[in-house]
Amino acid sequence: MPYTIGVFSPITRKPRIRQYLRRYRRLVLYYGMPLPRTFSDGLHDHQHCIDTAIDTAVQLCAERGIRFTKIRRRVLSLIWETHEPIGAYAILDALKSEYPRAAPPTVYRALDFLSEIGLIHRIESMNAFVGCTHPTESHTGQFLICRQCSAAVELDDPNIDAALRRSAEKMGFVAQRQMVEITGLCPECRNTGAA
Protein backbone atom coordinates (compact mmCIF):
# COMPACT_ATOMS: atom_id res chain seq x y z
CA MET A 1 0.00 0.00 0.00
CA PRO A 2 1.52 3.38 -0.91
CA TYR A 3 2.18 5.85 1.88
CA THR A 4 -0.66 8.36 2.03
CA ILE A 5 -0.24 12.06 2.57
CA GLY A 6 -3.38 13.50 4.06
CA VAL A 7 -6.75 12.23 2.97
CA PHE A 8 -6.31 13.45 -0.55
CA SER A 9 -3.81 11.43 -2.52
CA PRO A 10 -1.28 8.63 -2.29
CA ILE A 11 2.35 9.61 -2.51
CA THR A 12 2.50 8.25 -6.05
CA ARG A 13 0.51 11.21 -7.41
CA LYS A 14 3.36 13.67 -7.87
CA PRO A 15 1.54 17.00 -8.56
CA ARG A 16 -0.62 16.67 -5.45
CA ILE A 17 2.39 15.62 -3.42
CA ARG A 18 4.25 18.80 -4.18
CA GLN A 19 1.20 20.85 -3.33
CA TYR A 20 0.82 19.27 0.11
CA LEU A 21 4.52 19.06 0.87
CA ARG A 22 4.73 22.85 0.41
CA ARG A 23 2.05 23.21 3.04
CA TYR A 24 3.47 20.99 5.79
CA ARG A 25 4.47 22.83 8.89
CA ARG A 26 7.42 22.21 11.17
CA LEU A 27 6.04 21.25 14.55
CA VAL A 28 7.42 20.98 18.04
CA LEU A 29 6.12 18.94 20.94
CA TYR A 30 4.37 20.84 23.69
CA TYR A 31 2.60 19.10 26.52
CA GLY A 32 2.67 15.85 24.61
CA MET A 33 0.82 17.21 21.58
CA PRO A 34 2.29 18.54 18.33
CA LEU A 35 2.18 22.33 18.31
CA PRO A 36 2.72 24.36 15.15
CA ARG A 37 4.89 27.29 16.16
CA THR A 38 5.52 28.71 12.70
CA PHE A 39 4.30 28.55 9.16
CA SER A 40 7.70 27.16 8.08
CA ASP A 41 7.90 24.38 5.53
CA GLY A 42 9.39 21.04 6.38
CA LEU A 43 8.64 17.38 6.17
CA HIS A 44 6.89 16.04 9.18
CA ASP A 45 5.86 12.66 10.60
CA HIS A 46 2.08 12.99 10.70
CA GLN A 47 1.66 9.48 12.03
CA HIS A 48 3.34 10.56 15.27
CA CYS A 49 0.83 13.41 15.58
CA ILE A 50 -2.11 11.13 14.85
CA ASP A 51 -0.89 8.52 17.37
CA THR A 52 -0.35 11.19 20.04
CA ALA A 53 -3.79 12.71 19.42
CA ILE A 54 -5.46 9.27 19.59
CA ASP A 55 -3.57 8.33 22.78
CA THR A 56 -4.61 11.62 24.39
CA ALA A 57 -8.24 11.08 23.31
CA VAL A 58 -8.27 7.54 24.73
CA GLN A 59 -6.85 8.83 28.02
CA LEU A 60 -9.33 11.73 28.26
CA CYS A 61 -12.29 9.47 27.47
CA ALA A 62 -11.19 6.87 30.01
CA GLU A 63 -10.79 9.56 32.70
CA ARG A 64 -14.28 10.90 31.97
CA GLY A 65 -15.92 7.50 31.53
CA ILE A 66 -17.08 8.13 27.97
CA ARG A 67 -16.76 5.95 24.86
CA PHE A 68 -14.21 6.66 22.16
CA THR A 69 -15.80 4.81 19.23
CA LYS A 70 -14.14 3.70 16.00
CA ILE A 71 -15.84 6.48 14.03
CA ARG A 72 -14.75 9.15 16.54
CA ARG A 73 -11.23 7.74 16.39
CA ARG A 74 -11.20 7.82 12.58
CA VAL A 75 -12.61 11.36 12.40
CA LEU A 76 -9.93 12.56 14.83
CA SER A 77 -7.18 10.87 12.80
CA LEU A 78 -8.50 12.44 9.57
CA ILE A 79 -8.42 15.88 11.19
CA TRP A 80 -4.82 15.38 12.30
CA GLU A 81 -3.51 13.96 9.01
CA THR A 82 -2.44 17.27 7.47
CA HIS A 83 -2.54 19.90 10.25
CA GLU A 84 -4.77 21.88 7.90
CA PRO A 85 -8.39 22.83 8.53
CA ILE A 86 -10.75 20.23 7.06
CA GLY A 87 -14.47 20.52 6.47
CA ALA A 88 -17.15 18.06 7.54
CA TYR A 89 -17.93 16.96 3.99
CA ALA A 90 -14.26 16.29 3.22
CA ILE A 91 -14.22 14.12 6.35
CA LEU A 92 -17.41 12.40 5.19
CA ASP A 93 -15.87 11.67 1.76
CA ALA A 94 -12.81 10.12 3.41
CA LEU A 95 -14.97 8.09 5.83
CA LYS A 96 -17.10 6.61 3.05
CA SER A 97 -14.24 4.35 1.90
CA GLU A 98 -14.30 2.58 5.30
CA TYR A 99 -17.90 3.24 6.32
CA PRO A 100 -20.02 3.29 3.14
CA ARG A 101 -23.20 4.06 5.08
CA ALA A 102 -21.69 7.10 6.80
CA ALA A 103 -23.90 10.18 6.48
CA PRO A 104 -23.53 13.84 7.48
CA PRO A 105 -25.16 13.31 10.92
CA THR A 106 -22.54 10.63 11.66
CA VAL A 107 -19.73 13.08 11.00
CA TYR A 108 -21.38 15.99 12.80
CA ARG A 109 -22.05 13.88 15.91
CA ALA A 110 -18.39 12.82 15.99
CA LEU A 111 -17.24 16.44 15.45
CA ASP A 112 -19.56 17.69 18.23
CA PHE A 113 -18.20 15.03 20.58
CA LEU A 114 -14.55 15.80 19.77
CA SER A 115 -15.18 19.53 20.12
CA GLU A 116 -17.03 19.19 23.43
CA ILE A 117 -14.18 17.32 25.07
CA GLY A 118 -11.61 19.75 23.66
CA LEU A 119 -9.81 17.54 21.13
CA ILE A 120 -10.56 19.77 18.13
CA HIS A 121 -11.35 23.40 17.36
CA ARG A 122 -13.81 24.73 14.82
CA ILE A 123 -12.46 27.50 12.62
CA GLU A 124 -15.67 29.48 12.27
CA SER A 125 -14.68 31.55 9.24
CA MET A 126 -13.80 28.44 7.22
CA ASN A 127 -16.44 26.11 8.69
CA ALA A 128 -13.60 23.65 9.16
CA PHE A 129 -11.91 21.79 11.99
CA VAL A 130 -8.34 21.42 13.27
CA GLY A 131 -6.85 19.29 16.03
CA CYS A 132 -6.25 20.98 19.36
CA THR A 133 -2.57 21.09 20.20
CA HIS A 134 -3.10 20.98 23.98
CA PRO A 135 -6.50 19.50 24.83
CA THR A 136 -5.68 18.76 28.45
CA GLU A 137 -5.42 22.48 29.27
CA SER A 138 -8.19 25.04 29.56
CA HIS A 139 -7.75 27.64 26.81
CA THR A 140 -9.56 29.56 24.12
CA GLY A 141 -8.98 29.28 20.41
CA GLN A 142 -6.65 31.77 18.79
CA PHE A 143 -5.64 31.17 15.18
CA LEU A 144 -3.55 32.78 12.47
CA ILE A 145 -5.07 31.75 9.14
CA CYS A 146 -3.48 32.26 5.75
CA ARG A 147 -6.09 33.52 3.30
CA GLN A 148 -4.10 32.17 0.35
CA CYS A 149 -3.21 28.57 1.28
CA SER A 150 -5.60 28.14 4.26
CA ALA A 151 -2.81 27.13 6.64
CA ALA A 152 -3.77 27.69 10.27
CA VAL A 153 -1.55 27.95 13.33
CA GLU A 154 -3.01 27.81 16.83
CA LEU A 155 -1.78 30.35 19.34
CA ASP A 156 -2.27 30.16 23.07
CA ASP A 157 -1.45 33.61 24.35
CA PRO A 158 -2.89 34.31 27.82
CA ASN A 159 -2.31 38.04 27.25
CA ILE A 160 -4.83 38.02 24.39
CA ASP A 161 -7.35 36.19 26.58
CA ALA A 162 -6.82 38.63 29.45
CA ALA A 163 -7.14 41.71 27.23
CA LEU A 164 -10.38 40.48 25.70
CA ARG A 165 -11.79 39.49 29.09
CA ARG A 166 -10.92 42.90 30.60
CA SER A 167 -12.47 44.77 27.68
CA ALA A 168 -15.64 42.69 27.88
CA GLU A 169 -15.91 43.19 31.64
CA LYS A 170 -15.54 46.96 31.27
CA MET A 171 -18.59 46.88 29.01
CA GLY A 172 -20.52 44.65 31.43
CA PHE A 173 -20.37 41.73 29.01
CA VAL A 174 -19.83 38.17 30.16
CA ALA A 175 -18.17 36.11 27.43
CA GLN A 176 -19.28 32.49 27.30
CA ARG A 177 -17.18 31.39 24.35
CA GLN A 178 -14.20 33.00 22.69
CA MET A 179 -12.57 32.34 19.33
CA VAL A 180 -10.02 34.67 17.75
CA GLU A 181 -9.29 34.23 14.05
CA ILE A 182 -6.77 36.49 12.37
CA THR A 183 -6.47 36.23 8.60
CA GLY A 184 -3.47 37.30 6.58
CA LEU A 185 -0.62 35.75 4.65
CA CYS A 186 1.78 33.10 5.92
CA PRO A 187 5.49 33.68 5.22
CA GLU A 188 5.49 31.28 2.26
CA CYS A 189 2.55 32.96 0.52
CA ARG A 190 3.87 36.43 1.35
CA ASN A 191 7.25 35.53 -0.16
CA THR A 192 5.66 34.16 -3.34
CA GLY A 193 3.93 37.49 -3.89
CA ALA A 194 0.36 36.46 -3.12
CA ALA A 195 -1.74 39.57 -2.72
Per-residue pLDDT band for 195 (boundaries 50, 70, 90) equals low
The answer to whether residue 180 is domain-embedded is no
184 class by beta-carbon count within 10 Å (0-12 exposed, 13-18 middle, 19+ buried): exposed
pLDDT score of 194: 55
The number of folded domains in the chain is 1
Q: What is the CATH number of the domain that holds 40?
A: 1.10.10.10
- Tens of pLDDT, residues 104-139: 999 999 999 999 999 999 999 899 999 988 888 877
pLDDT score of 44: 62
Q: Are 181 and 146 in contact (CB under 8 A)?
A: no
Q: Is the pLDDT of residue 87 over 90?
A: yes
Range picked from 70-74, 136-140, 161-165 for highest mean pLDDT? 70-74
The answer to whether residue 158 is domain-embedded is no
pLDDT score of 42: 55
pLDDT score of 49: 84
Residue 147: helix, strand or coil by DSSP?
coil
The answer to whether residue 104 is domain-embedded is yes
Look at 4-8, 43-47, 82-86 and tell me which has the smallest mean pLDDT: 4-8
Q: Can you give the pTM of this predicted structure?
A: 0.73
The answer to whether residue 110 is domain-embedded is yes
- Tens of pLDDT, residues 7-38: 333 333 334 333 333 333 322 222 333 444 45
The answer to whether residue 88 is domain-embedded is yes
pLDDT score of 36: 45
20: domain range? 4-139
Per-residue pLDDT band for 43 (boundaries 50, 70, 90) equals low
Q: Are 95 and 138 in contact (CB under 8 A)?
A: no
Residue 122: helix, strand or coil by DSSP?
strand
The answer to whether residue 189 is domain-embedded is no
Closest CA to 82 of 4, 183, 179: 4
Look at 40-44, 49-53, 146-150 and tell me which has the smallest mean pLDDT: 40-44
pLDDT score of 137: 81
Q: Are 3 and 11 in contact (CB under 8 A)?
A: yes
pLDDT score of 39: 57
The answer to whether residue 117 is domain-embedded is yes
Which of 52 and 177 is assigned the larger pLDDT?
Answer: 52
- What single-letter DSSP state applies at residue 191? H
Amino acid symbol at 183: T
The answer to whether residue 92 is domain-embedded is yes
Sequence-distant (6+) residues with CB within 8 A of 56 are 32, 33, 119, 135, 136
